[in-house]
């Protein structure tokens, strides 16, 4: 029996629905994945508003976050479809076969109906600025893993080019060399094709973002194979898989504000009474609302608007 979702716009959507005929076979930090016996080669992905930080899922949600992530991904998949196709078929729940009709309206903007692709088990990470783990590696070693970098760079410095720092696809993604990535991909020609496509996509998105006053510091891609063809899978150029900074607030040596859940992380880092293990502390509503506003802001900047039905 289906459980009709009740999505409170103020509280957000936590997910975990029981949908008649469908099996919820995977629950991630943000997305729930369903499968249906009549469609074994397809997956139904539902983007929730769940919020995690330091690998712990919070009690609170960020309302409309799932819709923003779905909207930005769909926007970019359409923008780059001439470069590379995607595994997804539609984000319109009305076009998902065998989805009970009572779920259509509540899940508008959260649904991705996709083909099952064979995942390439290498995460493609591209960086244009020193930030995050890349900055920590440079600070410790003067390098960015296998890349030799100039001396004297600072946090948030622009890198000499777009650098590729692939990782494994594990519970904890681990940096690997490009030669290791090629071995894991299994074919040098295909690996080089993945690298070229990823770089082309990054350059296009970075140029578009910078023209709107935003810097794309880094991003990651996941690729898959469908009938021997490379396709994009998972999210693309969202604030959850990419680091965006307001261009006029980037100062070398300092941590720029970002368009993601860094507001939540900053609050949690201020809580000396939390050991970053479950259960998490309560997140004040003011922190949640500021985080939501950042997601809406970057959505407007990147796509020119907000998902249908989403309001400030």
**pLDDT digit string, tens, across residues 101-130:** 999 998 999 999 999 999 999 999 999 999
pLDDT of 200-240, one tens digit each?
Answer: 999 999 999 999 999 999 999 999 999 999 999 999 999 99
CB-CB neighbours of 40 under 10 Å: 9
What pLDDT score was predicted for residue 5? 56
**Residue 158: φ, ψ to 5°:** -75, 135
Give me the residue label for tokens 């960086």.
Answer: 127
What pLDDT score was predicted for residue 45? 98
From the candidate CATH numbers 1.10.1760.20, 3.30.200.20, 3.40.50.2000, 3.40.50.740, the one assigned to the domain spanning 23-115:
3.30.200.20
pLDDT of 226-281, one tens digit each?
Answer: 999 999 999 999 999 999 999 999 999 999 999 999 999 999 999 999 999 999 99
pLDDT of 155-194, one tens digit each?
Answer: 999 999 999 999 998 777 899 999 999 999 999 999 999 9
What pLDDT score was predicted for residue 169? 87
Q: Region 36-44: what's the mean pLDDT?
A: 98
| Euclidean distance between CA atoms 93 and 241, whole angstroms | 24
What is the domain partition of the chain in residue ranges? 23-115, 119-260
What pLDDT score was predicted for residue 172? 75
Give me the residue label for tokens 């020193």.
Answer: 130
Contact 67, 310 (CB under 8 A): yes
Question: Quick check: do 23-115 and 119-260 share a fold?
Answer: no
Name the pTM for this structure.
0.95
The tokens of 195 are what?
Answer: 């690298």
Q: Does 98 have pLDDT greater than 70?
A: yes
pLDDT of 129-164, one tens digit each?
Answer: 999 999 999 999 999 999 999 999 999 999 999 999
What pLDDT score was predicted for residue 160? 96
| Euclidean distance between CA atoms 295 and 236, whole angstroms | 15
CATH-assigned architecture of domain 119-260: 2-Layer Sandwich (3.30)
| Euclidean distance between CA atoms 288 and 284, whole angstroms | 7
Residue 215 bridge partners (DSSP): 245
């Amino acid at each position: 029996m289906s459980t009709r979702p009740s999505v409170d716009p103020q509280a957000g959507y936590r997910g975990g629905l029981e949908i008649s005929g469908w099996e919820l076979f995977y629950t991630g930090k943000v997305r729930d994945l369903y499968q249906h016996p009549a469609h074994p080669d397809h997956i139904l992905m539902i983007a929730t508003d769940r919020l995690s930080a330091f690998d712990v899922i919070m009690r609170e949600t960020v309302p409309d976050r799932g819709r923003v992530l779905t909207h930005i991904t769909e926007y970019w998949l359409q923008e780059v479809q001439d470069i590379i196709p995607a595994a997804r078929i539609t984000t319109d729940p009305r076009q998902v076969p065998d989805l009970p009709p009572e779920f259509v309206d509540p899940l508008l903007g959260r649904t991705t109906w996709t083909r099952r692709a064979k995942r390439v088990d290498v995460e493609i990470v591209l960086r244009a600025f020193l930030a995050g783990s890349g900055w920590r590696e440079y600070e410790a070693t003067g390098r960015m893993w296998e890349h030799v970098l100039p001396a004297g760079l600072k946090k948030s410095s622009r890198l000499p080019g777009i650098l590729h720092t692939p990782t494994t696809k594990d519970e904890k993604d681990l940096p690997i060399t490009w030669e290791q990535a090629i071995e894991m991909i299994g074919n040098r020609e295909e690996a080089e094709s993945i690298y070229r496509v990823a770089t082309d996509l990054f350059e296009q998105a970075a140029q578009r973002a910078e023209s709107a006053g935003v810097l794309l510091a880094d991003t990651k891609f996941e690729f898959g194979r469908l009938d021997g063809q490379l396709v994009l899978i998972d999210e693309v150029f969202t604030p959850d898989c990419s680091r965006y900074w307001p261009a006029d607030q980037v100062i070398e040596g300092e941590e720029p504000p970002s368009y993601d859940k860094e507001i939540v992380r900053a609050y949690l880092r201020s809580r000396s009474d939390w050991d970053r293990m479950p259960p998490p502390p309560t997140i004040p509503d003011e922190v949640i609302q500021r985080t939501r506003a950042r997601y809406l802001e970057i959505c407007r900047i990147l796509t020119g608007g907000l998902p249908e039905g989403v309001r400030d």
